[in-house]
Structure 1
Amino acid sequence: MIKMTDAPEKLATPTDLKSNEIKDVAEGLNRVLADSYALYLKTKNFHWHVSGPHFRDYHLMFDEQAAAILGTTDAIAERVRKTGNTTLRSIGDISRHQTIDDNDADFVSAKDMLKELRDDNLALVETLRVVKTAADDSDDHATSALVDEWIDAAEERAWFLFESAQSG
């Protein structure tokens, strides 16, 4: 019979970051992670339900944006763990941390989809800027650098959504 070794009762990750300061960073990253999942699912929802004369363009753009958003989630969660903290564990945990609203409407016009996703990406940028400030205040340069990339990506998504909504 194989005997299990004693497992730790608590996750422990070596870090030189001060636990009190980095807790704010981890909490902010968990909020970003929850919002990223909420934004991912909303973007996929709109990808699946878009309709109208620009169907193909919007359908493809929403799919590309959803993939990019989902692509950041592992890096966000792993950064939380690298700082010695824990991250989200479930859909319920996501819902408790998210600040981006879900959209369960039976029908949303393509124009409203573009506007809502643009606003949500800009809201994500605001949350990311708060995390950046906390990371800088904590001398957490790795998180700060990652957040710069995520801000740029969210701003680009918002820009594409804005330009796609222009009439003319």
Structure 2
Amino acid sequence: MTQEDLATRRLAPLRTPTGLSEEATRDISAGLTALLADVFSLYLKTKNFHWHVSGPHFRDYHLMLDEQAGQIFAMTDAIAERARKLGGTTLRSIGHIARLQRSLDNDADYVEPQDMLAELRDDNGDLVQRMREMHGLCDEHRDVATASLLENWIDEGERRVWFLFETGRPDRN
């Protein structure tokens, strides 16, 4: 193989053959990439609160947030690989995540535990809503495989919202 052949091969696009239209590949992989940025953002915020939670319910909150962070992180590879399987590209850096994420960071020195739970509840709810919107896009393009993945993640997200809601409820004493 000549140097020219090698150079041409390196410049070849990262296109994967798929049965979906070019429009579907573009729209769904872009949607998955934005979703992936949100998932990484939520993962890091959940770990932030896991590391910094304090107070009388420390152990329970610490363990719950670690469990939820693990569940959130578990989605990342599947989301990125799905975008690639469709023939698209996905995230390449922390800066790329920062440009695409739709949830807000929390860099406060101290956050009350109840505020942590409420913020994560709302962020998980927002993520669930974005996944439902993504599911609609998949339905439009007849991408049942991505829609199927989203259905499981929506259920997991709804469970996280439920746990955060119930854990954050005030005592009724």
> What TM-score range do you get, normalising by the shorter chain?
over 0.9
Q: 1:50 matched to which residue of 2?
A: 53
Identity %: 55
Q: 1:22–1:135: 8 Å Cα contact kept in structure 2? A: no
Query: Hey, what does 1:146 align to over in structure 2?
Result: 149
SS in 1 for 2:83: helix
* Cα RMSD, aligned residues only: 1.4
The residue aligned with 2:115 is 112
Q: Aligned-pair distance for 1:143?
A: 0.3
Partner of 1:79: 82
By how many angstroms is 1:3 displaced? 7.6
| Residues 1:133 and 2:143 are matched in the alignment | no
Structure 1 counterpart of 2:25? 22
Q: Deviations over 1:39-80 (max 9, x none)?
A: 000000000000111000000000000011001000000000
Q: CA deviation at 1:166?
A: 1.0
Show structure 1 runs of 4+ deviating over 6 A.
2-5
Change in 2 beyond 3 A, CA 1:65/1:3: farther
CA change 1:149–1:116 in 2 (3 A) is: same
d(CA) in 2 for partners of 1:109 and 1:22? 43
Deviation, 1:167, is 1.9
Q: Deviations over 1:13-63 (max 9, x none)?
A: 010100112322111111110000000000000000001110000000000
User: Is the CA contact 1:38–1:102 (under 8 Å) kept in the aligned structure 2?
Assistant: yes
- Which secondary structure state, in structure 2, belongs to the residue aligned with residue 43 of structure 1? helix
**How high is the TM-score relative to the length of structure 1?**
0.95
Q: Which amino acid aligns with 2:140?
A: D
Please, which of 62, 66, 72 is the counterpart of residue 65 of structure 2? 62
Would you say the 8 A contact 1:28–1:127 is kept in 2?
A: no
User: Match for residue 165 of structure 2?
Assistant: 162
Report the Cα offset of residue 128 of structure 1.
0.5
SS of the residue corresponding to residue 17 of structure 1 reads: coil
C-alpha separation in 2, matches of 1:128 and 1:23: 17
Number of residue-to-residue matches in the alignment: 167
Once the two structures are TM-superposed, the CA of residue 12 in structure 1 deviates from its matched residue by 1.7
AA aligned to 1:37 is F
**8 Å Cα contact 1:30-1:87 kept in structure 2:** yes
With normalisation by structure 2, the TM-score equals 0.93
Which residues of structure 1 form unaligned runs of 5+?
A: none
